[in-house]
Amino acid sequence: MSVPIYLDSHATTFVEPRVLESMLPFLREQGGNPSNPEHHHGGAARDAVEQSRQSVAACLGCSSPEDILFTCGTTEANNLALIGAYLQAAAPEAHFISSVIEHASVQAPLEYLQSLGARVTWVPVDSEGRVNPADIQSALRPETLMVSIMAANNEIGTIQPLEEIGAICRAAKVLFHSDAAQFVGHEVLDVEKIQADLLTFSAHKFYGPKGVGALYRRTTPEAVRLRPVMHGGGQEGSLRSGTLNVAGIVGMATALRIGTEELAEENRRLMALATAIVARLKQACPGLRLNGSTRHKLSRNISLTIPGVDSSALIQLLKDRISFSAGSACSSAKPEPSHVLRAIGLSDEECYQTIRLGLGRGVLAADVADILADGIAAAPIFSPSRNGWSGAMY
């Protein structure tokens, strides 16, 4: 049986062969600990980490490689950015501003900080999932510590007006943090241009290995100060203790360099592919709805609401041919409808009739549209049941 076509790149991507090749020496010959640079193996590991730090910084437009702190992924980096800033501020009722469509790795830390006394304003989004910068401006208070707005949404692919939000934050002398897990490695990003103070991302979202990510923390002209949320050996300037994942860090730097060099050509290809897929599916299902922004959108994202079709049933029907998701893979085990889809105006029924396609390097033709069209025609009719909605994946 042939391997199904992979259409879930928002959840994760597979390690690119060139990335794996760069990692292998640090899984074999150069397996030293960078915290012990006195001998050959430790020194080689330390050099590899610092070269990778320089490479990542260059891809993000950082003024200094010291702006990059390596973590195990975006979730850890988001916790360090949010909780670390709160602890450093030593202001129990500090105020945060975030959006209603943030990833759980931002929502949950902010909810935790609320339990400690922090105040959080959740700004709405429009029907395309875009934050209005004027709402950020209106929500600012004298005690506002940070604005945290994701760069691009993991479900509907909408890209936020980062430059405008960054300018508002800088003028107000408020920290600006962005969860850029879906953005880095796929879109042009300059942390100086968007005036970010803190920015987070994971390698596995752009064809790097799992288990490694980074936090950009502005160090000039006035350093953003954080308190560590993990304590131990004092690695990464004592902000992220723990033995560094050298092979993962090297892989992330390689993946980001490749992604940055090739993103213009790849985005053109993915945009054409997405356009062809949507056009074919609209022929098969005229009532189909495309979610997200038509202008400010990740080229690899297709979020579709298919009237009358249970998304989970469709996934099961086509699982031997295509791998895709119903909403966010990070929250698909929860029984509630997607908070992102609700925020842009979908009803609960429409949420359960929505699929997410994440196009990627392994998708070479619009043949997937024909497979989906056949599946839609054969899928069970959607209907609520006494025990919840039809579709066991929810």
Q: Which parts of the chain are beta strand (E)? A: 5-6, 68-71, 95-99, 119-123, 144-148, 175-179, 198-202, 213-217, 289-291, 301-305, 322-323, 354-358, 384-385, 388-389
| Helix/strand number for the chain, H first, E second | 11, 14
- Axis-axis angle for helices 104-115, 74-89 (nearest 10): 30
119 and 82, same domain (yes or no):
yes
How confident is the model at residue 389, as a pLDDT?
41
137 and 156, same domain (yes or no):
yes
Range of the domain at 346: 5-11+263-389
pLDDT digits (tens, 9 = 90+) for 183-214: 999 999 999 999 999 999 999 999 999 999 99
* Number of domains making up the chain: 2
Whether residue 304 has pLDDT greater than 90: yes
pTM of the model: 0.94
- Catalytic residue chosen out of the listed positions 59, 62, 169, 330: 330
Domain final position from 209, 236, 257: 257
Q: What is the DSSP letter of 205?
A: G
- Give the CATH number, domain containing residue 338: 3.90.1150.10
Asked if residue 5 lies in contact with residue 362, where contact means CB atoms within 8 angstroms, the answer is yes
241 and 277, same domain (yes or no):
no
220 and 323, same domain (yes or no):
no
pLDDT digits (tens, 9 = 90+) for 19-72: 999 999 999 988 899 998 889 999 999 999 999 999 999 999 998 999 999 999
Asked if residue 123 lies in contact with residue 135, where contact means CB atoms within 8 angstroms, the answer is yes
251 and 279, same domain (yes or no):
no
pLDDT digits (tens, 9 = 90+) for 143-190: 999 999 999 999 999 999 999 999 999 999 999 999 999 999 999 999
Asked if residue 310 lies in contact with residue 380, where contact means CB atoms within 8 angstroms, the answer is yes
Q: Look-up: residue for tokens 């597979």?
A: 14
How confident is the model at residue 72, as a pLDDT?
97
Domain final position from 210, 226, 257: 257
DSSP H or E segment with residue 257: helix 246-284
- pLDDT > 70 fraction of the chain, expressed in percent and rounded: 94
Mean pLDDT rounded to a whole number for the chain: 92
Domain final position from 257, 274, 291: 257
Give the model's confidence band at 88: pLDDT under 50 very low, under 70 low, under 90 confident, else very high. very high
Classify residue 208: in a domain, yes or no: yes
Rounded CA-CA distance 327/306 in Å is: 13
Classify residue 217: in a domain, yes or no: yes
Q: What is the DSSP letter of 390?
A: S
- Give the CATH number, domain containing residue 143: 3.40.640.10
368 and 269, same domain (yes or no):
yes
Classify residue 394: in a domain, yes or no: no
Asked if residue 256 lies in contact with residue 184, where contact means CB atoms within 8 angstroms, the answer is yes
Asked if 72 is an active-site residue, the reply is no
How confident is the model at residue 2, as a pLDDT?
82
